Structure formats: structure tokens, C-alpha cells
Structure 1
Amino acid sequence: MGTHVIKMPDIGEGIAEVELSQWHVKVGDLVVEDQVLADVMTDKAMVDIPSPVHGKVIALGGQPGEVMAVGSVLISIEVEGAGNLKESDKPAPVAAKETPVAPKVEAVIESKPAAAAPRPAAAACQGPMVAREANERPLASPAVRKHALDLGIQLRLVRGSGPAGRVLHEDLDAYLAQGQSNASTPVAAACTQRNDEEQIQVIGMRRKIAQRMQDATQRAAHFSYVEEIDVTAIEELRAHLNEKHGASRGKLTLLPFLVRALVVALRDFPQMNARYDDEAQVITRLGAVHVGVATQSDVGLMVPVVRHAEARSLWDSAAEISRLANAARNGKASRDELSGSTITLTSLGALGGIVSTPVLNLPEVAIVGVNKIVERPMVVKGQVVIRKMMNLSSSFDHRVVDGMDAALFIQAIRGLLEQPATLFVE
């Protein structure tokens, strides 16, 4: 038998180190060729590390959250034959590592029985109600059973404070004090104390998100601008297009219309479609509109990029948004698909709230946030009518974007969405 050492691969683009995010194996596991061993995190994307051999895991080279250099030993696998272990790869003589896990304290609720002495009235907060099986007979004296029967109390629902959980007369009083004498379904007492804790290690994508958000708020001079938009007309257009072409071209959400509005508005406000290198003090305005679409995934917020939105139709944008969102949620988005945006669109859909203050996706200088659509009474030409209204909550880098320009930019988007035919006038 020999040892096959797998080193941290060179993922490309000059990356010298990556973060070990998660192990999919532990010491002693048998693995097969192409089985995913670990996930590593670059500055943009999660990358799977597969096994090139069959064998048995004998050592892990790092712990989740550890930053490892490209070329360092990631994992050692026992294989048939000589293997590829070199003297330089042999680890120092230290105790074998166990499978690393994020520290976690299991949730435990401690419930201490009350003393046998008479309890004060507040003792009811120890939770007089308890769930027992229907056929479980609680411990209680004949006098307590008769008392419970007279009061109409199901004895199996009462928590006993006596020895071995015996139900006492005081327990019946406490049960009544909670107003639960007519309860038919056991529920947890509202005043049950909890002392459980859970520690979650901030690693992988979550750490990258935390670093980027902190960096953005510390470096950029954020300011936000909120505007109310009447989306009744564009929602009617969307419904019409879906009814007519949905079966053949796919259903349209509001997002591709918003992407189109960004593209058209940016023709007059090119300073919004820009990146700011604050170290070199250089603003780069771009002709191509690469729209980042903030997407929630199991590992955190990711921003896949719809490239060259200026050259896409509504349905093309819709298909690309859907494809990228699925890739991001499934952890399959590539580094290229998660980088290179020039302006970002963020939406919480139905959970969008009334107002938000989105954080810039540096080095971009603008992010457009979409809040939820609600029906509200509005005054239109002197008449009160029901309209579908939505807020845009957008943020800008005040080092680059003036307040007046930001307001005019959002007003341009508002005009395009409220008069949707103008979205398609060249």
C-alpha cells in the first residue's frame, strides 16, 4: 500500500491561497475517483476538489476556515501501489487530526424539579404542562386524581414537581393558574427558561460576504435615494406578454424589465455604469452593461452577472437571470459568472419591504434596490384609484456620484417603467 497526496490545486488567475470551506470526507472514509473531497473558497466562488484516486482517507491537511497556500498538502489517501508521497510531503510527527467541525453547542433545556416545600405563586412559571403519551399513567395519589377529575383536568398534561415526577395538589393549582384547564393539546410553557447556546464559525462564503460588506461600508461614502413608482402599466404589459408568449418563450418576471430600464437610463447617465479604483484614484466608465443580480443561496448572498445586458431582449435577459440564479443557488456558478459586474440590481421579491438601504458592490458606484409591489389608493387626474406601487431604494458612492445625478437617474428609470413603451424606443 502507498500514500497518494493531493495538494491544493492552482485554481488560476494568479490566486496564491484559498480558504478551506468544508470537508465532505473524514479520516477513515473510503473514497472513489471523482468523489468530491472538499470545498474551497476563492475571493469570488466556491470550488469543488475531487479525488483523482480510489482509496482510504488517512489525513486531512487543514480545518474549515483555514487559509491554505496553493501547493500545500490538502489530503492524504492510502492507495494500492506505491502512491506519490515524497519526503517533502511527509507531515511533522503530530497527533492525527480528527474531522474538523464548526464548534457547536447542542440545544439543551434544563428543567430542575422544584423543592418539596410549598412553592410561591410564581412557581407556575416552571411550566405546569407536560406532554405524555396517551397511555402513560402519571404518578399521583388517589386524592390528587379525584381532585383533577373534579376540576376537569387531564392529569397526563400536568407537570409533576414531586419525587419521580409525582403530580401534587400544588401542580394542579399551577396548571389552573396558567389558564390551561380546557387545553386539549399540550404546548410548551411560555415562561420556560432556556440556557442553550450555539456557536457558528464564520468561514467560507459567509466570511467573504462579511469582509466585502465591511470593506464596502468603510471605504465608500454611501448615500441612498428612495422613489415611489407606479408599476400598474408595466405589470399589465408583463401579464399580457406572459399570456401571449409565456408558453413558447417562458414567463417574464419584473426583473428583465428592470434590467432593460437600467440599460436605457444608463445611456444618459454613464457615470452610474462605472468602477472606482480608490487606490489609483481612477474612475472607469464602461460601455458594456454587465448587471449583477443579487441572489440568495444556501451559503449566502451571491451576485451572478448578466453580461452585455445592453444587447439582450427581454426573454434573453429573463433566461439568463434564471440560469445564473439556479447556478448560484446550487453552488455551480463559476468564478467568471460571479465577477465583472458594472452595476447591481437587488430585490427581495415579495419580502422586499417598503424601504431598504442596499450596500454597494465595490468597486461599483451604484446599486438599485427593488421593494415589493403593493396595491394602494392613489389620486390620478383628480380621481382616487387603486394602483400597483413599488419603491426603488438605491445606494450610490458619494465620492463619485452627486446627489442630483442620482436622483435624476432614478427618475429616468421611473419614467421608463411608468411608460413602458419608452423601454423599446431606440
Structure 2
Amino acid sequence: MGIHVIKMPDIGEGIAEVELVMWHVKVGDTVTEDLILCDVMTDKATIEIPSPVHGTVAMLGGAAGQVMAVGADLIHIEVEGEGNLKAHAPAAPAKPAAAAPAPAPAPVAPAPAAAPAAVKPAAPAAAAPVAQSAARVAREPGERPLASPAIRKRAWDMGIELQFVHGTGPAGRILQADLDAYAARGVQGAPSAVAGGYRENHAEQAIPLIGLRRKIAQKMQESKRRIPHFSYVEEIDVTELENLRARLNEQWGRERGKLTLLPLLARALVIALRQFPQMNARFDDDAGVVTQYGAVHLGVATQTDAGLMVSVMRHAEARDLWACGAEIVRLADAARTGKATREELSGSTITISSLGALGGIVTTPVINHPEVAIIGVNKIVERPMVRQGAVVIRKMMNLSSSFDHRVVDGMHAAQFVQAIRALLECPAMLFVE
């Protein structure tokens, strides 16, 4: 038998460190060729590392959330034959101290780490729910307990967090008996009944920031620390814009795809930037240089299960409404399914952030460093407005925008937003060159 060592790969582009996001295997697992071993991340691109060999996991080189150097030992796999790292033979010198314990290579699975995964309960299966449920189960961060929808609903109704319930079903699946045993034992973290049928919940869970959440935290901290933000909010009457969108979708929706508000806003942004090119820029504050761009590489903030990602629509200035709409949908889908490439998540020159129907009245969006402006879209609401002396119902929407006050003056920011407002309130102007 030998040891095959897999090292942290060189992702390219001069990256020296990579974050280990998640393990898909543990010590003692049997792996096959092309089985995904772990996920690693650089910037906002997650990469899966497959196994090049068949064998048994002997050692994991790091824990989830750890930042590892490129070239560091990622995982050791015990394989048939010599592998690429020969297992140490017994020491040649016949020293008394070396003869008693059987020598083993240092990187091979440490006994303390392997023991929990290898231990099997010797008690009969019928006794397992009671015996195992009496202790608080600690799962790895991000590990999702196996349970059916019915079990999850019942646990919710009982106020039980499945994260702490031991499952005795196949592959650790949580069964009804496991919930009963957990509630009956009243283990630490289980809710206790009080008067009126309500339950106290004392569960606590420490969740480390790893993977995308860590990248988001670092990015937001850097943006707020380095950029003196100021925000400007303006309300916009989008009644005519929404009427136009409905007409376009009615006439062209089946053939070209349904339009949301974002393609129309992107079009207004592109036109307004012709007059205010200083907003379509990136500021290198270390060098003290502002670079303005003719190309509008529009960042579109996208919420995913893993966190907020900014997908980049290249050359928005060269796309019509339907091309913009199709690209926004494609990029959002790639981000949510984890298939977005590094190029699709970097290089934006100005960003739009929209919470859709949850957009609230006002937001204070954080600039996507090193850009100098971000446009935040709030929800559309019907409000009574006075027009020509009469009270009428109009569809109103606020734009909440933030700017880098080092390079953007308040007057220019206001003029820029007013230019966008004029285009959206008279949408015919979006098509006049």
C-alpha cells in the first residue's frame, strides 16, 4: 500500500492562497476516481477538486474555512501500489524505543480524528434512538440533517432543531422515534414546555464565516472602510414605464421573452452615463487614479443561497432591451447554481442592486469597490399623487443610490439621478438617439 498526495492546486492568475470551503469526504471514506473531494474558493469562484485515484482517505490537510497555500498538502489517499508518496517502512535501526510501536507515516490518519467516524454502536438497533438521542449531536457547520418533509414539519411544530437530533435511520436519517426520544429526554438545546403550550428554545449554534460569506464580509468591510459613501434618494413615477413594459411583454413576450424592470433601468443608465461618464469608473485609491470607461460593464447584484454575488453583464451599451433581459436571467441562473465563472463575477464598472418586491422604501447600498457608484432599486408602490391639481393614483418607485464622495460631488450625483429619472418617467426617450 502507498500514499497518494493531492496538493492544493494552482488556480492561476498569481493566486497564492485558496480557501478550503467544504469537504465531501472524511478520514476512512473510500473514494473513486473523479469523485469530488472538496470545494475550494478564490474571490467568488468556487472550484471542485476531484480525486485522480481510487483509495481510502488517510488524512485531510485542513478544516473547512481554512486558508491554505497553493502547493500545500490537501489530502492523503491510501492506494494500492506505491502511490506518489511511499509509505514509510519500519525503521532500519533496531532501537528498543522504535521497535515497540509500529511506525506509521506522520500524514496518515491520526487516531483521534479517525476514531469518531469509525466507531459503530454495538447496542441493538431498537435501543439506539433512546441511547443516542440523550446526547446533543454536533454536526459540522453547513451539514444538513437527513429528514423527510413530514419530519421537518413536525420538528418545526415541536420547536426542535434537527441540527441537534441524532438520526438512526439509513445514512443517519432522522425518524419519528428520534424526535420522540429527543423531546422526551429534554437534552440541552431541546425546547422545554411552558404554560400555554409555548416552548422555550435554548439552542445555540456558532456559525463560522467561511466560503462566500467570508468573501462578502471582507468585501463589504473593505468598501465601507475605504470609501466615504454618501447616498441620494429620489422618487420616480414609473406608471408610464410599467404600462410600456406590459405592452412590450404582451406583444413580444412569447417571441423574445418577458421583460422585467431591470433591462429598462439598464437602458436608462447607459444613456445617462453618456452625460456623466465619471460615474462609470473605478478608483484605484492606492495609485490615486480614476479610470473612466466607455464600455458599461454592468454589475447586477444577485441573491443566492450562499450569499450576495455580483454578476457582470458585459457591454450593456451594445445590447437592446431583450438582450439585456436574457443576459441578466442567464447570469442570475449561473450565480444561483454555482456555475458562474470568474470572468462573469468580476470587472464591473457600475452596479445595480434590486431587492424586487422586498425593496422597501429606502436603502443605503454599499458601493462595489473599486467602483464609484451603485444604483439601488426599491419596490414599486401605488400612492396618491397630485397631478395638475387632481389627486390620482400613480405607481411610484424610489432609487436609492450611493456614491464615492472622494471623486463624485453631490451636485453631479443629483444631476445623474435626475437624468435617469427623466428617462424613466418619459420612457419614449429610451429609444431616441
Deviations 1:345-385 (A, max 9, x none): 00000000000000010000000000000011111122211
CA distance in 2, matches of 1:330, 1:91: 39
State how 1:131-170 maps to structure 2 within 5 Å: none
TM-superposed CA distance for 1:195, in Å, is 2.5
1:373 pairs with 2:393 = no
Letter in 2 for 1:101: E
TM-superposed CA distance for 1:2, in Å, is 2.7
Contact 1:256 1:317 in 2 (8 A): yes
Contact 1:221 1:398 in 2 (8 A): yes
TM-superposed CA distance for 1:326, in Å, is 0.7
- Aligned with 1:95 (options 110, 119, 131): 110
Aligned residue for 2:275, secondary structure, equals coil
Cα RMSD of the aligned pairs, angstroms, is 2.4
1:235 pairs with 2:274 = no
TM-superposed CA distance for 1:421, in Å, is 1.1
CA distance in 1, matches of 2:265, 2:32: 46
CA distance in 2, matches of 1:93, 1:264: 62
CA distance in 2, matches of 1:93, 1:40: 22
Which residue does 2:83 correspond to in 1?
83
Which residue does 1:13 correspond to in 2?
13
Which residue does 1:362 correspond to in 2?
369
Deviations 1:231-266 (A, max 9, x none): 111111111111111111111111111111111100
CA distance in 1, matches of 2:41, 2:381: 39
- Aligned with 2:218 (options 211, 216, 230): 211
CA distance in 2, matches of 1:102, 1:389: 43
Which residue does 2:230 correspond to in 1?
223
Contact 2:59 2:107 in 1 (8 A): no
Which residue does 1:283 correspond to in 2?
290
Which residue does 2:264 correspond to in 1?
257
Structure 1: where are the runs of 5+ without partners?
107-129, 132-163, 165-173, 179-187
Which residue does 2:358 correspond to in 1?
351
TM-superposed CA distance for 1:94, in Å, is 8.1
Structure 1 residues 283 and 374, CA gap change in structure 2 (3 angstroms): same
Contact 1:18 1:70 in 2 (8 A): yes
Contact 2:59 2:75 in 1 (8 A): yes
CA distance in 2, matches of 1:420, 1:347: 20
Contact 1:64 1:101 in 2 (8 A): no
State how 1:306-325 maps to structure 2 within 5 Å: 306-325=313-332
TM-superposed CA distance for 1:103, in Å, is 9.6
Which residue does 2:168 correspond to in 1?
none
- Aligned with 2:341 (options 334, 346, 364): 334
CA distance in 1, matches of 2:269, 2:106: 55
Structure 2: where are the runs of 5+ without partners?
89-104, 118-138, 146-157, 160-184, 186-193
1:61 pairs with 2:65 = no
CA distance in 2, matches of 1:31, 1:423: 57
Contact 2:299 2:351 in 1 (8 A): yes
1:273 pairs with 2:288 = no
CA distance in 2, matches of 1:361, 1:344: 7
Contact 2:59 2:109 in 1 (8 A): no
Which residue does 1:35 correspond to in 2?
35
TM-superposed CA distance for 1:56, in Å, is 2.1
TM-score, structure 1 normalization: 0.77
Aligned residue for 1:267, secondary structure, equals helix
TM-score, structure 2 normalization: 0.76
Letter in 1 for 2:48: D
Letter in 2 for 1:307: R
TM-superposed CA distance for 1:86, in Å, is 5.9
CA distance in 2, matches of 1:374, 1:294: 22
Deviations 1:251-283 (A, max 9, x none): 111111111111110000000000001111110
1:304 pairs with 2:304 = no
Which residue does 1:383 correspond to in 2?
390
Identity %: 68
Contact 1:305 1:337 in 2 (8 A): yes
CA distance in 2, matches of 1:361, 1:265: 20
TM-superposed CA distance for 1:419, in Å, is 0.8
Structure 1 residues 285 and 86, CA gap change in structure 2 (3 angstroms): farther
Deviations 1:188-239 (A, max 9, x none): 32xx443221110111111111111111111100000000001111111111
CA distance in 2, matches of 1:422, 1:389: 19
Which residue does 1:141 correspond to in 2?
none
TM-superposed CA distance for 1:331, in Å, is 1.1
1:248 pairs with 2:255 = yes
Contact 1:371 1:390 in 2 (8 A): yes
CA distance in 2, matches of 1:229, 1:410: 10
Deviations 1:58-107 (A, max 9, x none): 2111001111011111112222333222689x645883545893399x9x
Which residue does 1:124 correspond to in 2?
none
Contact 1:103 1:199 in 2 (8 A): no
Aligned residue for 2:65, secondary structure, equals coil
Structure 1 residues 24 and 283, CA gap change in structure 2 (3 angstroms): same
Which residue does 1:146 correspond to in 2?
none
CA distance in 1, matches of 2:415, 2:87: 66
The count of aligned residue pairs is 347
TM-superposed CA distance for 1:54, in Å, is 2.5
Q: For the pair shown, which has the larger CA radius of gyration, 1 or 2?
A: 1
Deviations 1:155-178 (A, max 9, x none): xxxxxxxxx9xxxxxxxxx97xx5
CA distance in 1, matches of 2:250, 2:53: 52
Letter in 1 for 2:235: E
Which residue does 1:25 correspond to in 2?
25
Contact 1:103 1:201 in 2 (8 A): no
CA distance in 2, matches of 1:222, 1:294: 18
CA distance in 2, matches of 1:409, 1:257: 16
CA distance in 1, matches of 2:55, 2:244: 59
Contact 1:225 1:406 in 2 (8 A): yes
TM-superposed CA distance for 1:386, in Å, is 1.0
